[in-house]
Copies of this chain bind each other. A is one copy, B any other.
């Protein structure tokens, strides 16, 4: 335990001891030269130049291979989820996504199966061995997420700082989406709530921002990915399904994201999209997903070696 006249918090991150302080202070006041410069933050490449690799139950995100998480928008039933999980695994998915607690625009839409949805996802994992990523909306629901492989923070909670602080204190992988009106700077500042708590297993997931043209659901700026790559060492995922809002556009947006340098894709796939209880227009059929995987992996192979800034 250090002693210092400056108030600080000690965390361990990426194998280093770090001392966070809000005070103006010189490095000499610390026994090690590692006080964090507030202006940059722990997310910055200036603080950590090498790419971070996040491991989710053995699946490595950010090591140059493209990781694909796939599954339904919402867990609707055991049968539906198991069928989708087994099929997307066969078609090349590395992880299973699925929503149990659903943030819906109106209270009159299907709100998800809640805890029993989480149970179904765990069953699917037992059968397929695919690590699971699923969304947590509120601290009060956390108990069910205690042993979930990766916790998703959705766009609507991207500046729910209480929730972020809470997850910062857990050492569980987080897939952290951007808020739909957040600048890149604001998004990285929000990630700082996770990192400064000592949680280093953060993957940023870009899902587009609010735009003025309703031809698609959200605007998927391909410039965002190289900007993130330049500024931060954290791995980058892209969600092509929500910005598309229409399955006809999902593959093009997915391939664009991989070509721009994404390490991971999170794609909505359903065994019967037209009957889905949510996001029915944008979930892919198995056939569409198969083609997406094939093409995305080809582009990834070509692009990844050159897009990565070596550590």
Interface size class on chain A is 35 or more
Interchain CB contact under 8 A, A211 and B219 = yes
Q: Is residue A71 contacting chain B, with contact meaning CB distance below 8 A?
A: no
CA distance A284 to B181 in the complex (A): 27
CB distance from A118 to the nearest CB of B (A): 15
Instruction: Indicate whether A252 sits within 8 Å of B259 (C-beta atoms), given known contacts A22-B108, A210-B212, A215-B227.
Output: yes
Q: Mark each residue of chain A from 182 to 219: 1 if its CB lies under 8 Å from any CB of chain B, else 0.
A: 01111001101100100000000000111111111001
- Residues of chain B with a CB closer than 8 A to A107's CB: 161, 165, 192-193, 196
**19 pairs across A/B with beta carbons < 8 Å?**
A20-B108, A103-B159, A105-B189, A138-B139, A181-B209, A183-B214, A184-B213, A185-B213, A209-B213, A211-B212, A211-B219, A213-B221, A215-B224, A216-B223, A225-B256, A256-B259, A295-B306, A299-B299, A302-B302
A261: B residues at CB distance < 8 A: 252
Chain A window 98-112, contacts with chain B (Cβ cutoff 8 Å), 1 for yes, 0 for no: 000001111110000
Q: A22-B108, A211-B211, A211-B212 are in contact. Are A255 and B249 (CB under 8 A)?
A: no
A161 with B137, Cβ < 8 A, contacts A210-B212, A222-B220, A252-B259 known: yes
The residues in A between 237 and 271 inclusive whose CB is less than 8 angstroms from any CB of B are 243-244, 248-249, 251-253, 255-261
A20 to B211, CA, bound (A): 33
Cβ 8 A contact of A226, one of B137, B222, B253, B299:
B253
Q: A291: nearest residue on chain B (CB-CB)?
A: B306
Contact B303 A189 (CB under 8 A): no
A192 to B: closest C-beta gap in Å: 5
Q: How far is the CA of A225 from the CA of B256 in the complex (A)?
A: 10
The listed residue (B103, B159, B162, B184) touching A138 by CB distance below 8 A is: B162
A183:B223 contact, CB within 8 angstroms: no
Copies of this chain, complex-wide, total 4
Q: Closest 4 interchain pairs by CB?
A: A181-B181, A138-B162, A222-B256, A156-B159
Query: Is residue A46 within 8 Å, beta carbon to beta carbon, of the partner chain?
Result: no
> Closest Cβ of chain B: how far from A295's Cβ, in Å?
7
Contact B225 A210 (CB under 8 A): no
Q: Report B-chain residues with C-beta under 8 Å of the C-beta of A219.
A: 209, 211, 219, 221, 223
Within 8 A of B (CB), among A69-113: 103-108
- Evaluate contact between A215 and B184: CB separation under 8 angstroms: yes
Complexed CA–CA distance, A234 and B230 (Å): 35
- Give Cα distance in the complex from A221 to B161, angstroms: 27
Bound: A160/B221 CA distance, A: 25
Shortest Cβ gap from A236 to chain B (Å): 11
Q: Shortest distance in angstroms between A286's beta carbon and chain B's nearest beta carbon?
A: 17
Q: What is the 8 Å Cβ interface bit string for chain A, positions 4-44, against chain B (1 contact, 0 not)?
A: 00000000000000001010000000000000001001000
